[in-house]
Amino acid sequence: MTLISELDLPDLPIEGPEFSADPMRFLTPAQQKHPWLARFRAGYVVHGLQAGRDLLAMDNRMGPHFHGVVEHFGAEGTEWARFMSEQIATTSGAKHDRMRASLASAFTPRRANLLRPLMRDVISRLLDEWAARDSFDFVDFASHFPIAVMCGVMGISSDHVRETHDAIEAQILCLRMDRNLLPDIMAGYEVLRSFTADVIREREKSGERNSDLLLDALIETKTAGGLDENELRDLVITLLLGGYDTSKNELALIMNSLIEHPDMYQRCAVDKAFCGKVVQETLRLTSVATPSRTVFEEFDYQGITFPRGTHICFAVALSGRDPAAYDEPMAFRPERKANTRHLAFGRGTHICLGQFLALAILEEGLHLIAQRMKNPRLAGEVTWRPFRAGIWGIRTLPVAIDPEQGSQRGG
Ligand code: HEM
């Protein structure tokens, strides 16, 4: 066994701006030195698909790495710090297992499918406004898309979409790890906290129930004893946060790929099943989330010892480009016969709770967008967000389209 710190590993500058715009410039030489492991400023990067799959499943040896974020901001003892350490994405062990078990029935593929008509309705209304424009930043459109849909599937009034959007944007500033942003982050969190508390209280008081809606399903879980009051509120906030930046960025990445493949884009307008394949291929090639773990119990894997305290970043977006797992990994081929599944939604006990909702939202969204945003082309420079800081993706994607005349609706 060799201690991980004694290995001669390549460095991957995953925090730098050059990396986020063109990871392959750095990944290809790194893969030649070590097929699945590299070093970065704060620990190690796992970029191989099989190693990512094996290691992410070791929930009994490592857990999510969030306490460092609160310490970094000097925010210990605040309500925000409590949320950061107790919510479903950051908690581990028995509490996490209980929450996942009680939520399983609210996040099935069946429920995601039940919500498709509602998704289509919300997306169509959003497109009434955006498809009539001739040019805009697609990232701006994409940022409204998941909030509107998530509020819709939760059963939260669309009057609150703007307020929620701004509060979530403020909250995710923490990914930038800039201490000067703490007041904005705290303010965003407070808005979300009181907003979700009000929404839950009003819904409970109304006595109305529609078990298709996610919020009602979660209230039912609480009533059945599966969640307490804080857990329910934290969960609604986490769902808004977890479903926002990921879906927003994935949608922008999908559009970025399809601008280069107009024939595929046109097919998306008429073939919804193909939209699903495009979504999966984009998740393989450019997924957005980068789960982190800290080892709490030493273990060995493939001749390497990972001691307690080791920080590991799972670059699942790079795992989808692993030449050992995929033929021609850099080719965008939605029809590819992949013999293995990507890791875009993670693996192990923290695997994405909203993955079926995300797939349905993106598939329905792409189908309607392709029908109504005609002939999209690049109208300026594509700029990228940092790879490492939480969620990777495109910062700006200026597009021009053939604007829709009148306000006809796609179906
Ligand atoms: C394309 C869209 C999405 C991607 C790529 C994505 C990716 C991920 C990944 C990789 C994780 C695991 C993180 C880790 O292991 O530390 C995760 C967790 C999570 N995601 Fe998603 N996600 C997406 C959409 C959504 C949506 C729409 C929702 C809400 C409806 C959601 C809710 C969650 C929650 C609650 C967790 C934490 C689960 C837990 O820790 O038990 N995600 N997501």
Encode pLDDT of 234-262 as tens digits.
Answer: 999 999 888 888 999 999 999 999 999 99
Top mean pLDDT of 12-21, 58-67, 79-88, 307-316 is at 307-316
- How remote is the CA of residue 352 from the centroid of ligand 1, in Å? 4
Single-letter residue type at 279 = V
Residue 391's φ and ψ, nearest 5 degrees, are -115, 120
Residue 211 has pLDDT above 80, yes or no: no
Q: What are the angstrom distances between the C-alpha of 225 and each of 103, 217, 219?
A: 11, 13, 10
Q: Is 289 in the pocket of ligand 1 (CB under 6 A)?
A: yes
The pair of three-digit structure tokens given for residue 306, joined into one six-digit string: 């990972």
The answer to whether position 123 is within a domain reads yes
Mean local confidence (pLDDT), 138-155: 86
Q: Please provide the DSSP assignment of 92-140 as one string.
A: -HHHHHHHHHHHGGGG-HHHHHHTHHHHHHHHHHHHHHHTT-SEEEHHH
Q: Please report whether residue 370 resides in a domain.
A: yes
Collapse the DSSP code of 89 into the 3-class scheme (helix H, G, I; strand E, B; otherwise coil) and give the result. Answer: coil
| 387, amino acid identity | F
In this predicted structure, the answer to whether residue 84 has a pLDDT above a threshold of 80 is: yes
| CATH number of the domain where residue 242 is located | 1.10.630.10
Pocket test for ligand 1, best of 62, 246, 253, 281 (most atoms within 8 A of CB): 246
| Domain coverage including residue 104 | 2-402
Phi, psi of 11 (to 5 degrees): -95, 135
Please report the pLDDT score of residue 339 as a whole number.
64
Q: 407 lies in a domain?
A: no
Q: For the ranges 173-177, 272-276, 395-399, which has the lowest average pLDDT?
A: 173-177
Count of the separate structural domains present in the chain: 1
Amino acid at 326: Y
Q: How far, in Å, are 72, 251, 252 from residue 256 at the CA level?
A: 34, 9, 6
pTM (two decimals): 0.93
Domain presence at residue 411: no
Cα 410 to middle of ligand 1, angstroms: 29
Average pLDDT in the 300-324 region? 94
Asked whether residue 408 is assigned to any structural domain, the reply reads no
Average pLDDT over residues 215-244: 90
Mean pLDDT of 16-28: 90
User: What per-residue confidence (pLDDT) applies to 408?
Assistant: 46
Instruction: Give residue 245 CA to ligand 1 midpoint distance, Å.
Output: 10
Q: Given this model, what pLDDT does residue 320 score?
A: 94
Q: Give the model's pLDDT for residue 21.
A: 87
Write the residue with the smallest CA distance to atom 9 of ligand 1.
345
Query: For a pocket test of ligand 1, which of 111, 254, 352 has the largest count of ligand atoms closer than 8 A to its C-beta?
Result: 352
- By three-state DSSP, how is residue 290 classified? coil
Kindly state if the Cβ of 276 falls inside 6 Å of ligand 1. Answer: no
The total of other beta-carbon atoms located within 10 Å of residue 37's CB is 23
Supply 9's token pair: 């590993």
Ligand 1 pocket, residue 242 CB under 6 Å: yes
Whether 342 lines ligand 1, by a CB cut-off of 6 Å, is no
**Amino acid letter, 139:** V
- The Å distance, Cα 292 to ligand 1 centre, comes to 13
For ligand 1, is residue 354 a contact (CB within 6 Å)? Answer: yes
Whether residue 366 has pLDDT greater than 70 = yes
Count of positions (residues) in the chain: 411
Question: Which helix (H) or strand (E) covers residue 265, if one does?
Answer: helix 262-270
More confident residue, 83 or 154: 83
- Give dist(CA 158, CA 122) in Å, integer: 9
**C-alpha separations of 372 from 127, 135, 140, 368 in Å:** 7, 14, 17, 6
Ligand 1 atom 13: the closest Cα is on which residue?
A: 291
List the residue whose alpha carbon is closest to atom 6 of ligand 1: 345
pLDDT (tens digit per residue) in 370-410: 999 999 999 999 999 888 756 788 999 999 999 998 754 44
Task: Give the mean pLDDT of the chain.
Answer: 90
Whose Cα sits closest to atom 1 in ligand 1? 247
What distances in angstroms separate CA 298 from CA 43, 57, 66, one per listed residue? 15, 15, 19
Q: Is the pLDDT of residue 159 over 80?
A: no
DSSP code of residue 391: B
Check pocket membership of 247 for ligand 1, CB cut-off 6 A. Answer: yes
Give the whole-number percent of the chain exceeding pLDDT 70. Answer: 96
Mean pLDDT of 322-349: 91
108 assigned to some structural domain: yes
Most confident of 166-175, 196-205, 356-365, 401-410: 356-365
C-alpha span between 371 and 268 (Å, rounded)? 8
Please state, in angstroms and rounded to a whole number, the distance separating the CA atoms of residues 325 and 307.
Answer: 28
Ligand 1 centre to CA of 243 (Å) is 7
Cα of 358 from ligand 1 centre, angstroms: 9
